[in-house]
Structure 1
Amino acid sequence: MEPLLTAHNNEATSIAQLTAAQQKLYQWDKTIAAKHLYLIENKDTPYERLTTLKKHLAPLDATRQRDLIARYKALQTPPRGRRVEEWLRSWVEITNMCIAADVPETMGSRAQEDFLVACRTINPEYGTSGLRDLIDLEDAGTAIPSVEDYVSKFTTYLKRVLPLSTGLSSMAAELDVSKPQQQNKDGNKNGNKTKPQCPCGLKHY
């Protein structure tokens, strides 16, 4: 729902019929969600509208930050089944939103550390090695890669170590690629070796 031109000029049927100041106010109104337009009905200047919106909507920032913190904490537990790829994408999306909102849990290299700790659940060797490297970088005062970089590398790693998986969503244990199947060295219970089947489909032994 767009704001009405007549709200700025009773006789206006197009934006060209508004003065420069009225056009600015009209464009301003278009950027505001329809559900919030009632807040600025009697405010005539951009300053009045801005301060009014800030007064009423500022509490939503705290609510949004709490929501982001909850979503970020949920990332700490990797999903099981076929949702790892979605989980990896969420790491980038949610951490970027948290950083933009100045969420303390994602300041410095905390997000990178949390990601590597979570990676240990999927691949202990990779996660542990990554944490060691992160600590070395911190001790040396070297620039630390972004969360996007860590996610990208782990994605590539999973593609290589789990070549049989569908996308990146299956764990090694679920695919049973972590340990090859072993045949019974002793044959069947009678100690006889399993005899091959004839190409004709019958057993002649």
Structure 2
Amino acid sequence: MTEADPLAMKATVVLDKPSDWKKWLFLRKDGAERNQLWMYVDPSLSNDQVKKIESERPLEKEPQDFCTRRLPQENEEISILDLTDKEAAQYELWLKVFIRQEAVWLKKERALRDFNHEISRTIASRHIHLITNCPTAYDQLKTLKKHLCPSTSERNYQLRVHYQSMLSQPKRGNLDSWFEDWIETTRLMKEAALPEVAGNRAQEDFIQAVQGLDDSWATQQLTELVRKDQNEAPFTAISELVAEYRSHYRRVRPIASSLGTFATLGLAPQQEKGEKDQLPTCLDGKKHRF
């Protein structure tokens, strides 16, 4: 990954705690794969399986390696001028191929050094000590995985706890992030085959969670879900259901949803000064502060 990598600049995740690991590793893997580097740094591979870039560097040769008419004497230096026309042609052909191969290798080696920098740049400073004695990016990822990658049971527990927190309706200003949370968390739970999202359980939980925002929509969807369950027909996927409600909410409550977005960005309009500074009417029939 190069320092100018647009993905790294637009979507940087700092690895600070175990819950950051999956997103952080995804971004690192994405950058590495675009430079054909993942097979050199993949922390899931053993030390024997991971590729070593040092072993792939093209080997240099000297003109004397192409001299076939006689063996050079000890300490004798042979230049291209000492070669026959045939030997010189072979040397020049090899040199052209070598220059191209070395350029490719140097580019990959430079990208790997940039990737090394990307690791140290995107982990919390309190974890830097973990990788100070790791000479390669592979060693660094392996060490970080050991300390910060949650076990399957830990990950599942975190997902369950977070899922329970999503069942509570958020403040209106955080609705967009809440919708995204529903999509991502239920996807991860389905990948982990957790029973909380089996069948239509996640859809039912989401419908009940938004009932306080729009009882009419929730009642309609819940009725449809029950009907589909009775007929053993598939119901709308949770990601599509969330997207459908998000679109519905923006249509029926455009002002509220806009204000919610502005509030999330810190751009909510302030109260009119006249409303904010309204003064009570005094006994003398005038308005004044004292």
Range into which the TM-score falls when normalised by the shorter chain: 0.5 to 0.7
1:159: Cα distance to partner?
1.1
Give the match for residue 36 of structure 1.
Answer: 142
Where does 1:175-190 land on structure 2 (aligned, <5 Å)?
A: none
Q: 1:168 to 1:143 in 2, by over 3 A?
A: farther
Give the match for residue 15 of structure 1.
Answer: 56
Identity across aligned pairs (percent)? 23
Listed as ranges, the gaps of 5+ residues in structure 1 are 18-29, 40-52, 171-205
Give the match for residue 48 of structure 1.
Answer: none
1:102: Cα distance to partner?
1.2
Are 2:238 and 1:147 equivalent residues in the alignment? yes
Listed as ranges, the gaps of 5+ residues in structure 2 are 1-36, 42-46, 59-135, 262-290
Q: 1:150 to 1:35 in 2, by over 3 A?
A: same
1:152: Cα distance to partner?
1.3
Contact 2:250 2:257 in 1 (8 A): no
Give the alignment partner of residue 102 of structure 1, picking from 193, 197, 221: 193
TM-score normalized by the length of structure 1: 0.57
Structure 1 counterpart of 2:200, one-letter code: S
Mapped to 1, the partners of 2:194 and 2:259 lie a distance apart of 29
Contact 1:72 1:94 in 2 (8 A): yes
Give the alignment partner of residue 74 of structure 1, picking from 156, 165, 177: 165
Q: Considering only CA atoms, is the larger Rg found in Structure 1 or Structure 2?
A: 2
Contact 1:85 1:168 in 2 (8 A): no
Structure 2 counterpart of 1:124, one-letter code: D
1:135: Cα distance to partner?
0.3
Contact 2:173 2:259 in 1 (8 A): yes
1:165: Cα distance to partner?
2.4
1:35: Cα distance to partner?
5.3
Contact 1:158 1:168 in 2 (8 A): no
- Higher helix content, 1 or 2: 2
Residue 236 of structure 2 aligns to a residue in which SS?
coil
Counting matched residue pairs gives: 140
Give the match for residue 84 of structure 1.
Answer: 175
1:87: Cα distance to partner?
0.5
Mapped to 1, the partners of 2:209 and 2:144 lie a distance apart of 45
Give the match for residue 158 of structure 1.
Answer: 249
1:37: Cα distance to partner?
4.6
Structure 2 counterpart of 1:15, one-letter code: E
Mapped to 2, the partners of 1:97 and 1:33 lie a distance apart of 27
Give the match for residue 227 of structure 2.
Answer: 136
Give the match for residue 125 of structure 1.
Answer: 216
Residue 122 of structure 1 aligns to a residue in which SS?
coil
Give the alignment partner of residue 93 of structure 1, picking from 179, 184, 193: 184
1:169: Cα distance to partner?
3.0
1:81: Cα distance to partner?
3.4
Higher RCO (C-alpha 8 Å, min separation 6): 2
Q: 1:144 to 1:36 in 2, by over 3 A?
A: same
